[in-house]
């Protein structure tokens, strides 16, 4: 399969480049696809020889989106909508990655794909608008919501904890936000699998969830990172109210991923296994 990927240097795009397998992939970085220019991105689809498209680009600044919502909406909604229309015109399946932030985080049950969306902030609103635009295009698509993406690349929780845990003997970490850490390498494999599934059966179009298991708090995730990395850094549990941020975070980021397994045969990955691979790549895995 010839897959056109929007994105080149982000966590997901870099792992897609590693896991392409027998697929031919073309990656579009900012120099070839400016996500602030919807028409230009749509043109890349129109002129491509792709069999499928994966959108691995997003404005992910949850806090900065509060003061730059227009830009976040362009990148997360307007441009994906234009790409989706171009895909629909050519009959190309589109895999569009979204987020748990479209939900309000209420309760403690995993959110099903058809649960009512109610984002808490600008980032979530922009991503929800992107979902609406992709669906409205009317083409073959899968909106794949995920959470807490980590890898050996870019800025993410694992790398932050390694940096801070190497400098301090104690950290206070939020313990009332719970979700599924998702290794980017597993997300990449899922995106490819979903793209193949859509190509084989357009009736599989819809909204799906993919996140790592088991669900865990940020504090317990930090403990697991320190344990595997062999860092003697204690973790003190604190509530979100003790760590105020410009944008509200959902307390419950659990995602019900059962439909993804039923339709595509893609199971939730154990993030603890992939964490070892990430730490090994970073040279931070404790021997023995």
In tens, the pLDDT along 138-181 reads: 999 999 999 999 999 989 999 999 999 999 999 999 999 999 99
Catalytic residue among 59, 101, 123, 208: 123
Q: How many CB atoms lie within 10 A of CB 176?
A: 16
pLDDT tens, residue by residue, 225-265: 999 999 999 999 999 999 999 999 999 999 999 999 999 99
Q: Which two tokens stand for residue 236?
A: 């003190």
Active site residue 123: yes
Each domain of the chain, given as residue ranges in start order, spans: 2-156+181-215+254-270
Three-class SS state of 209: strand
pLDDT tens, residue by residue, 192-218: 999 999 999 999 999 999 999 999 999
Cα–Cα distance measured from residue 168 to residue 281, given in angstroms and rounded to the nearest whole number: 22
From the options 3.40.50.720, 3.40.50.2300, 1.10.10.10, 3.40.50.620, give the CATH code of 2-156+181-215+254-270.
3.40.50.720
Instruction: Tell me what pLDDT residue 19 has.
Output: 78
Q: Which two tokens stand for residue 33?
A: 């696809």
3-state secondary structure 224-281: HHHHHHCCCCEEEEECHHHCCCCCCCCCEECECCHHHHHHHCCCCCEHHHHHHHHHHH
Please list, in sequence order, all residues whose beta carbon lies within 8 angstroms of the beta carbon of residue 201, skipping any fewer than 6 positions away. none
- H helix or E strand, kind and range, residue 115: none
Q: Does residue 94 surpass a pLDDT of 80?
A: yes
The whole-model pTM stands at 0.95
């Amino acid at each position: 399969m010839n897959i056109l990927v929007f994105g080149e240097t982000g966590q997901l795009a870099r792992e897609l480049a590693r896991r392409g397998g027998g697929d031919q992939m073309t990656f579009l970085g900012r120099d070839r696809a400016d996500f602030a220019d919807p028409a230009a991105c749509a043109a890349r689809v129109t002129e491509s020889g792709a069999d499928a498209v994966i959108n691995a680009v997003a404005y992910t600044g949850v806090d900065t989106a509060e003061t730059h919502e227009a830009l976040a909406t362009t990148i997360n909604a307007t441009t994906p909508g234009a790409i989706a229309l171009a895909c629909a015109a050519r009959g190309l399946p589109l895999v569009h990655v979204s987020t748990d932030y479209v939900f309000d985080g209420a309760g403690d049950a995993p959110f099903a794909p058809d649960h009512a969306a109610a984002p808490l902030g600008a980032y979530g609103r922009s991503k929800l608008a992107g979902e609406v635009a992709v669906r409205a295009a009317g083409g073959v698509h899968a909106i794949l919501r995920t959470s807490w993406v980590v890898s050996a690349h870019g800025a993410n929780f694992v790398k932050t904890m390694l940096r801070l845990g190497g400098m301090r003997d104690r950290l206070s970490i939020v313990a009332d936000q719970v979700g599924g850490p998702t290794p980017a390498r597993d997300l990449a494999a899922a995106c490819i699998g979903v793209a193949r599934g859509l190509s084989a059966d357009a009736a599989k179009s819809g909204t799906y969830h993919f996140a790592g298991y088991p669900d865990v708090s940020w504090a317990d995730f930090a403990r697991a990172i320190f344990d595997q990395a062999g860092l003697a850094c204690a973790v003190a549990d604190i509530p979100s109210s003790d760590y105020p941020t410009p944008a509200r975070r959902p307390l419950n980021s659990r995602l019900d991923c059962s439909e993804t397994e039923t339709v595509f045969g893609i199971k939730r990955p154990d993030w603890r296994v992939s964490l070892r691979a990430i730490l090994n790549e970073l040279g931070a895995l404790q021997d023995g």
